[in-house]
Structure 1
Amino acid sequence: MIDVLVVGGGNAALCAALMAREAGASVLLLESSPRAWRGGNSQHTRNLRCMHDAPQDVLVDAYPEEEYWQDLLKVTGGLTDEHLARLVIRASSSCRDWMRKHGVHFQPPLSGALHVARTNAFFMGGGKALVNAYFRSAERLGVQILYDTPVVSVELDGDRFVAARTASGERIEARSCVLAAGGFESNLEWLREAWGVNERGEWPADNFLIRGTRFNQGVLLKHMIESGADAIGDPTQAHMVAIDARAPLYDGGICTRIDCVSLGVVVNREGNRFYDEGEDFWPKRYAIWGRLVAQQPGQVGYSVIDQKAIGRFMPPVFPGTTADTLAELARKLALPEQAFVRTVEAYNAACRVGTFDHTALDDCHTEGLAPAKTHWARPLDTPPFHAYALKPGITFTYLGLKVDDRAAVHFGGWPSPNLFVAGEMMAGNVLGKGYTAGVGMAIGTAFGRIAGQQAAAAATTRNVDHASA
């Protein structure tokens, strides 16, 4: 019998498999996708948010624990478990050497419009390179890997894991198990059920795009909740970004993001603004905009800038709509011309331009305008004008399984002795809502490593018990 069964193939699952194998356990990893699509959402990532008290290798200045915690507290609105959040934050300061040991490389600090050279360590080659490095290391260490093997249910004896059952009907026993099979963001039916119908009679989820993997159907998550595992989180809360409306339904990844929101205005299909575009730095606030757009008519928005913004943000993959006048732009976007022009002119008139600095929370703001724009407010007065149609893009959902600092799955408030969970399946313990760049990988890395250690220890204890029986 295998010691540790790991269900999933993304960052958290791989961290668990590697840690369990390093602890001496035999490990079998089951990945639901084909080999070519392995890695879950981790293949679309770029970086890890890291605490550090002084400059370190690829990180500049300092990003101490308390600042990291305050950033997380702000974006979640307090919907976070402080004990588990601080565990993640502290673990983020010391994991890079272990990651390097398993073949992950980091690139030199970034500068410019991303504002993350101080807070985030970027993977050389992105998430795909990280996932491939971990799989190579796992294979080298003797971890068994099966692809095209989705797990649909687990067999329990009370709160103890006994076996997993695959979609093909195979029953796989193990002495302990780590669940790291992702959320339910690619299950369109579940998203539709969770979001329901809005006051306009629309089903918002019908217009969602999935930035991440198509394989995160949430089958195992739903099974665990129905089997009595303690759940946490709101099924409508997610890492949801405003992305290019022309993005594919699945696996668009990072390149579909539109990063110029803070440099202009965003309007809905009625030509009206609906939120403060300059609330905070983009890495801290970009993941609120998908939900904001999801609440607009037709679940669509339009990010509008003028020529002054060009060169100040990461350019999107697809070119935007351009026009020499606001009225022409409205016609090209099929927006109500008078309402759109009136909105932009009211914004322009309300701008109080001080010293513009997109690398700081500057003093350029609006007065007498609702909603206000609190930073980086400059009139849109320099043609050509550019616009990008936006739709909600879900990366991962926050509904998950409740855990403790041992990553144990709980049943009726009590931790399982040999069933653990990591990654998106438990991220809602730390992320009740909101997001800040790189924190998902921090959660997956911290709890993946913890789950792997604990699963190996549980398997060893079980072996000892059987030997002495």
Structure 2
Amino acid sequence: MSLPSQVDILVIGSGHAGFSAAISAAQSSPSSRIILIDKCPESWSGGNSYFTAGAMRTAHTGLNDLLPLVNNVDQNLAKTTDLPPYRTTDFEKDIQRICAGRSDPQLSKILIGDSREAIQWLKDVVGVRFQLSFNRQAFLVDGRHKFWGGLALKTEDGGKGLIEDHKRAAQQYGVDTFYQTAAKELHTNPQTGAITGVTVIHNGQPKEIRAKAVILAAGGFESNARMRTQYLGPGWDLAYVRGTPFNTGDCLEMAIRDVAAKQAGNWSGCHATCWDANADPNTGNREISNEFTKSGYPLGVMINTKGERFVDEGIDFRNYTYAIFGRAILQQPEGTAFQVWDSNMISWLRSEEYRDGIVKKIYGNTIEELAEKCTAEGLKNKDQFVKTLKEYNHAVYEHRKENPRAKWDPAIKDGVSTESSSTKLALPKSNWALPIDKGPFLAVKVTGGITFTFGGLAVNPETAAVVSSASSAEIPGLYSVGEMLGGLFYGNYPGGSGLTSGAVFGRRAGKAAAASISRGQSRL
């Protein structure tokens, strides 16, 4: 199939948000010619969405509300599952708390209000296969599967399965997809300022595609070392890239340069998680994918190369800390750290993140032996490493003495901590603090893996239409979704809300683009 020179709607980016926008547009306007392009080869389709665990945060009324969506729960399993409601008010509190009250109120209101309907749309229209995330979002406690942290849904086979479902639906709805096609320049009508087309490089050759509407869904700049250092700060050029190497910010810079698109959001902020220090620093692995994530730190402690703890591993549920702890690791000497557990916790680690053959495991029968082995992997002060763990253990036991009825429970904020009237660590562990004193001991070396950046373009929250910095008016025919949409997340984000945003605003942008074409045709 040859690349067309004229289309109705052109979507740039083959991730979850881009496919959501294209399918929504095709559903809204079946007679329109809609194409989706991406600069990557087809073997890299899916953008960062491909590398996710497929978790999506949505407001819901409890287990019975979500059961019709999923394919992995029978009646017996449902009877042993505790999944409390996560209402819009809970979602609102979380996004305001986690983003320090700086999330754009209109954007967050729409994200939250549309979340459940968007999930239903993904299932019914796109054919996304949802499951309850027992493997990542629930613990088996006293014979019951207890969900925690407001996050329950995931896609079957994670991001890989999500992109497979999108590709299938796009084909069904007549959306043609072209890879190795990079957007280079936006064209506008000189009188109206409306988008008229895009110059692309297709298979190495420049070509202009005329379009009545363009939807930008090409991701942030997380794979661009220059832009990371420019916007995130010194040292960020050394961050490991968790996902696609093709999200280099080209379309952000193109929109700002060509149509004076208004910038919005937290340009110095990003999602950076705990990542395997032995992974490729420049790109995610399409086969191993999200297995390089290392999110078992609430079950143990993290210690830097100087032998010191540097975060409160139990300050909140993992869903609310994993996107910022990667940054914390990168701020440590050498930008690395060690996650540490004793034999009591090793069996609780998720196999998809810590299975043999993927992660390099460091074992020691004693804390001293573990410290010695960690020196071969970059630990600089083994004596401090041992001292840190012994002081931590002492604080845990002192808390136990004062709170003999306290019960460790990884599915709630259990208050099992290092704080007591006799002992207070300079850096506490606020929840899930168990002693690390029973061998064998395990350590895994981690670094910070950047997932996506928070800075993007300002949009009309109702339609995701891009706003001009020159006029503060919408740029006719131009929309921005996914990681390119700015203003939603600041400093941190509630886990799973990124994919939900892609569906919510991708769906809205597709509808709006189709409606704008219909209005234009009705005026002819």
Task: Choose the corresponding residue for 1:417, options 476, 486, 501.
Answer: 476
Counterpart of 2:346, as a letter, is I
In the TM superposition, what are the counterparts of 1:44-443 in structure 2 within 5 Å?
44-45=51-52, 46-54=54-62, 55-58=64-67, 60-100=83-123, 101-108=125-132, 110=134, 111-112=138-139, 115-116=147-148, 119-157=151-189, 159-167=193-201, 168-197=205-234, 204-227=235-258, 228-249=260-281, 250-252=283-285, 253-315=289-351, 316=354, 317-334=358-375, 335=379, 336-351=381-396, 352-353=399-400, 354-367=406-419, 368-405=424-461, 406-412=463-469, 413-426=472-485, 428-443=486-501
Shift of residue 251, structure 1, vs aligned partner: 1.5
User: For each residue in 1:317-353, what CA deviation from the matched residue of structure 2 results, as whole angstroms up to 9, or x when unmatched?
Assistant: 3142111122222221112121111111111111223
CA distance in 2, matches of 1:98, 1:344: 49
CA distance in 1, matches of 2:325, 2:519: 47
Task: Choose the corresponding residue for 1:29, options 23, 36, 39.
Answer: 36
CA distance in 1, matches of 2:303, 2:383: 13
2:273 touches 2:327 (CA, 8 Å); kept in 1?
Answer: yes
User: For each residue in 1:252-286, what CA deviation from the matched residue of structure 2 results, as whole angstroms up to 9, or x when unmatched?
Assistant: 43211112211221111111111111101112211
Counterpart of 1:56, as a letter, is D
User: For each residue in 1:136-172, what CA deviation from the matched residue of structure 2 results, as whole angstroms up to 9, or x when unmatched?
Assistant: 2211221121111111221234642121111332111
Give the alignment's Cα RMSD to 1 decimal: 1.8
Shift of residue 301, structure 1, vs aligned partner: 1.2
CA distance in 2, matches of 1:196, 1:88: 29
CA distance in 2, matches of 1:457, 1:226: 27
The aligned residue for residue 403 of structure 2 is none
SS at match of 2:130: coil
User: For each residue in 1:7-31, what CA deviation from the matched residue of structure 2 results, as whole angstroms up to 9, or x when unmatched?
Assistant: 1111111111111111223211112
Question: Percent of counterpart pairs with the same letter?
Answer: 32
CA distance in 1, matches of 2:173, 2:266: 38
- The change in CA–CA distance for 1:319 and 1:62 in structure 2 (over 3 A counts) is same
The aligned residue for residue 76 of structure 2 is none
SS at match of 2:26: helix
Counterpart of 2:194, as a letter, is R
| Structure 2 unpaired stretches of 5+ | 1-5, 70-82, 141-145, 401-405
2:57 touches 2:150 (CA, 8 Å); kept in 1?
Answer: no
User: For each residue in 1:87-112, what CA deviation from the matched residue of structure 2 results, as whole angstroms up to 9, or x when unmatched?
Assistant: 11121111233222322111245232
1:152 touches 1:223 (CA, 8 Å); kept in 2?
Answer: yes
| Structure 1 unpaired stretches of 5+ | 198-203
1:278 touches 1:376 (CA, 8 Å); kept in 2?
Answer: yes
2:220 touches 2:247 (CA, 8 Å); kept in 1?
Answer: yes
CA distance in 2, matches of 1:341, 1:268: 12
TM (norm. structure 1) is 0.93
User: For each residue in 1:362-415, what CA deviation from the matched residue of structure 2 results, as whole angstroms up to 9, or x when unmatched?
Assistant: 121112111111111122111111111111101111110011221010112221
1:207 touches 1:391 (CA, 8 Å); kept in 2?
Answer: no
TM (norm. structure 2) is 0.84
User: For each residue in 1:175-223, what CA deviation from the matched residue of structure 2 results, as whole angstroms up to 9, or x when unmatched?
Assistant: 11111010111112221333443xxxxxx22431111111111111112
- The change in CA–CA distance for 1:285 and 1:328 in structure 2 (over 3 A counts) is same
- The change in CA–CA distance for 1:407 and 1:281 in structure 2 (over 3 A counts) is same
Shift of residue 440, structure 1, vs aligned partner: 0.4
Shift of residue 120, structure 1, vs aligned partner: 2.8
CA distance in 1, matches of 2:208, 2:7: 12
CA distance in 2, matches of 1:331, 1:224: 52
1:41 touches 1:213 (CA, 8 Å); kept in 2?
Answer: yes
- The change in CA–CA distance for 1:36 and 1:82 in structure 2 (over 3 A counts) is same
Number of matched pairs: 459
Counterpart of 2:467, as a letter, is H
Counterpart of 1:420, as a letter, is Y
